[in-house]
Structure formats: structure tokens, C-alpha cells
Structure 1
């Protein structure tokens, strides 16, 4: 029977639709028996510095091949203090491109020793019933693998990883080219990429769920049928969380992603 590591673990992350957070929690469970959580999705303040004697799990989603910019902004003030760090990104089954390298570099610049890295699949922000994209991911198997991998990382020598090692292992140039061509043709035919989700006022009950879920305060209480375009990051947390189905986001990317990236990818682990 594997012995549970007793060293303290910090989990810090940005995760509007909770995919990154769920994976991060599973990794943290594997790393140690005690965990403190800081959810930066809603701008929780960071400690001045993390202690070198424990672990830090840093998790964030991939948007357009990069770590979500809001995530990096909210992590900007932290100092690692030499803490052993595991970086985790989640992406919608298309590609994580250079995002894992980006997050590892960011951590090293902030005083962390990156000793583990992982890319897991999470349901794409643009996944809808008609065009599912990694729907339901991370699933139970993903989370079990994340926890087991956390145990493996805790038991192996804490050797620092080179960020240049962390390239996307599943990059498919031909498929990516066909995907981009599909999107370009859709846009040329008149399809658009909306700046914000649409709201059907007939279904909106002004329950305030979207206000609570929005990580950038783009939706104001009492005005739930509106979204501030200059604040919206199109994470679609409001769409996925609306209990009455009043919010939708119709983009040609949904059909293209569902068409070209239907084959489930598995976690990449370092």
C-alpha cells in the first residue's frame, strides 16, 4: 500500500468552468494529505511567498494555445521561494500548443522549481449539445489518473524540468490545417464569432447565477440579460451554468472543433 505524503500542498488556479480546478485538486490529493486552496477565478489574494518545504500545484485553462491571460495576471504577484511546483493545464481536446511551456517559464521566473507538468483534456468552452467537444472531461478516469500521477511525482526525485521539454505531444499539422480552413470558410460565408454570449430574455429569470460565475465581472446583478464585451473572455462559464438555458454562445468554432477533434486525447505527463 502506498504511503501518503505528509508534506503540505498549495493548490492555486484559475478555472471558470472548473475543469482545471478539478484536475488540480486530484493532483494535489496525490501529492499530499493536507492541501490549502487558493481559487484565483474570483481574485482571491495570494500569500507573499510559498515555502520551499512543501508543494505548489498551479493550474489554468488553455485559451487559443496560451495560458488564459487573466490567470497569469492574477498570479503575477506571487513568489515561489524555491517551492517544488507542478504545473497543470487543461485544454479542449484540440491542442495546448505552447501553453505548458509558457506556464512553466512563468513559474520559474517567479521563483518556483518546476518538477512536474501535465496537460489534461477538459470540456471545451465552445462545446454544445449539437457539437460536443470533449464533453464531460475531465471524467472519472482522468481524475483517477491525475491523483495517481500526483503520487508518482511525490515519490520520485524532485528534478527540475526544462520548459523546452513540454511541447504538445499530440500536435497534428494536417488536421489543424483542415480545421482552420473549415473555420475560414464559415466566416467567409457570413458566420460570425460573437463578442459575448447571447441571452434569451424570455428564459432569463434574473437568478444571478451568471453574475456569480463570471470571473471578470462582465455581468451585473439586475442586468443579467447583458454582458460587457470589454470584460468578457468567452469562457462560457455563464452559458454552462445557466439553470434556465437562457445563455448561449453560437460560434462556427463549435462545429469545426467537434468535426476535427472528436478523437479523445489522453493526458500528457512529465
Structure 2
């Protein structure tokens, strides 16, 4: 079993939370940075024995549009997924629901979800 930390974190707050969650599962994680537009995400593939911590910030209660596109390139292949939504200045609203839909479409089995508060990027 491998633990993958799949994270979109333009300002670093989501990365901190994601690292705490993934690190609690295993200290040796494979990081997939969805923030890096140059990364070949089609080469990222998991097995059903793997666990992925998929972490995104909430933008106005939604997932960032680019996350849906980039996560859709990853092949989950039945890997278990823990979804993490990080929010700061307002409620996370539909972020976890949308992230669940995108993760399932990418082939992940969602087993848990976390909503975590972090400092807002404007603070």
C-alpha cells in the first residue's frame, strides 16, 4: 500500500493541512501537486490497495475549476480516497460534494472526508 498526497494549494494553506492528514497515515507519501500545470498527471496511477489524500481549498464554496480538469487526468483505479477541503473566510458549502463527484469519476473509492479551517489567503 502506498499513500498518495494529491493536493492543489496555490498559497500553501491547503498543503499544510494535507501534509498533516497524509502524514498521519504514512510518513512516506507520494506527493502529486495539482498546482503544477507542467506535471504529466496522466502518468499518475494507483492500485486499489493504495490510499489517496485529495486536498483542495474551497473557492466560494466550490472546488477550483482547474482541480476537476487536473484530477480527472489521474487514474484512481479503485484506490481509497480521503477528501480534504480547506476553507478560511466563509463556509465550504458544496466543496466536498463536488470533490467526491470528481474523485469518483477519476476512479477513486471515497471512504472519508474532512473539512478543515486554515488561515485565509488574504489574511
Residues in 2 aligned to 1:48 and 1:16: alpha-carbon distance in whole angstroms: 20
Where does residue 2 of structure 2 map in the other structure?
Answer: 8
- Could you give the per-residue CA deviations for residues 21-78 of structure 1, whole angstroms, max 9, x where no partner exists? 1111111111123211111212222234211111111111111110111222222211
Instruction: Give the structure-1-normalised TM-score.
Output: 0.43
Gaps of 5+ in 1: 1-6, 128-270
Where does residue 79 of structure 1 map in the other structure?
Answer: 75
Where does residue 45 of structure 1 map in the other structure?
Answer: 40
Residues in 2 aligned to 1:49 and 1:42: alpha-carbon distance in whole angstroms: 17
Is residue 33 of structure 1 aligned with residue 27 of structure 2?
yes
**SS at 1:126 equivalent:** coil
Where does residue 93 of structure 2 map in the other structure?
Answer: 97
**SS at 2:35 equivalent:** helix
C-alpha displacement of 1:93? 3.9
Report if aligned partners of 2:72, 2:105 keep a CA contact under 8 Å in 1. Answer: no
The structure with more strand, counted as a fraction of residues:
2
- What's the C-alpha RMSD, in Å, of the aligned pairs? 1.3
Residues in 1 aligned to 2:121 and 2:29: alpha-carbon distance in whole angstroms: 28
Pairs aligned (count): 121
Which structure 1 residue ranges, 4+ long, deviate > 3 Å from structure 2?
Answer: none
Where does residue 65 of structure 1 map in the other structure?
Answer: 61
C-alpha displacement of 1:101? 0.8
C-alpha displacement of 1:97? 0.4
* Structure ranking higher on relative contact order (CA contacts 8 Å, 6+ apart): 2
C-alpha displacement of 1:119? 0.8
The structure with more helix, counted as a fraction of residues:
1
Residues in 2 aligned to 1:52 and 1:69: alpha-carbon distance in whole angstroms: 26
Residues in 2 aligned to 1:40 and 1:109: alpha-carbon distance in whole angstroms: 16
Gaps of 5+ in 2: none
Residues in 1 aligned to 2:44 and 2:118: alpha-carbon distance in whole angstroms: 31
- What are the residue-to-residue correspondences of 1:1-270 with 2, within 5 Å? 7-43=1-37, 44-46=39-41, 47-127=43-123
